[in-house]
Amino acid sequence: MKLKRLFSFAAVAALSFAGLAACASSTDSASTDATTVRVGVMSLSDSEQARWDKIQELLGDEVKLEFTQFTDYSQPNKALAEDQVDINAFQHHNFLNNWNEENNGDLVAIADTYIAPIRLYSGTQDGKNKYTSVDQIPDGAEIAVPNDPTNESRALYLLQAAGLIKVGVSGTALATKADITENKKNLTITELDANQTASSLSSVDAAVVNNTFVLEAGLDYKNALYKEQKDENSSQWYNLIAARKDWESSDKAEAIKKIIEAYHTDEVKKVIEETSDGMDEPVW
């Protein structure tokens, strides 16, 4: 089946395509003494491929990475639970927790990897940004946010971190408009489909735009007014490596630990920052 390339998972966990792609190793040759670790991933972006190539380079001949690429977000955790792969790397904590709850699963996060921060963008007038900083957003301004529960929560926590509102929940709790406890600027928070917040920029003062729609909207994320911070309210959106609950007692345990050690290096951090052009940020 022909794979469909995906831009970003962090904001599109609900997307679903059909099928499972063929297995592929990141290296054509390795020592016969190498431990093969089967890794489940979604279709790899160029940036993700580059970071895994660097990890394989750091592992040398001790561990061989063998990838199974999926095109349906419902499949990688199922494959992990059924021992078709040894680990997977495609999701954030919120997605894993929900999958475990809905499927009576006990998969565990064994390492944090990166976050793809969402951002607040200025509204536009005559094709130019109205504002260059959050402080310039006026009293009574209208801000568009995605209306699905996951991304609306991220957007409201983002607005709180930017100092625009306060919400009465924290951590892993999903925030809604009803949770807003302080709104000193009397902002109007307008809920739109996630794919419409970017197109609303000409009619609102600011909007939170999912990374999925940034490029197609012609936005420059470097010109964003504010980006999601790495804190307790965003930690549920950290991407991760997952394994079965008993992974440490398996014959792949030492090899998996070496993968984590290789991932959590300055070399891989540099690859992530350079190849994603700053869209992904390491969180270890």
Per-residue pLDDT of the chain (284 residues; tens, 9 = 90+): 333 333 334 433 433 333 444 444 444 444 468 999 999 999 898 999 999 999 999 999 999 999 999 989 989 999 999 999 999 999 999 999 999 999 999 999 999 999 999 999 999 999 999 999 999 999 999 999 999 998 999 999 999 999 999 999 999 899 999 999 999 999 999 999 999 999 999 999 999 998 878 877 889 888 999 999 999 999 999 999 999 999 999 999 999 999 999 999 999 999 999 999 888 999 99
CATH number of 119-227: 3.40.190.10
User: Which residues in the chain are classed under CATH 3.40.190.10?
Assistant: 16-116+238-282, 119-227
Residue 86: other Cβ atoms inside 10 A: 23
CATH superfamily, domain at 16-116+238-282: Periplasmic binding protein-like II (3.40.190.10)
Q: How many CA atoms lie within 13 A of 276 on its CB side?
A: 24
pTM over 0.85: no
Contact in structure between 71 and 1 (CB atoms under 8 Å): yes
Q: What is the pLDDT of residue 277?
A: 85
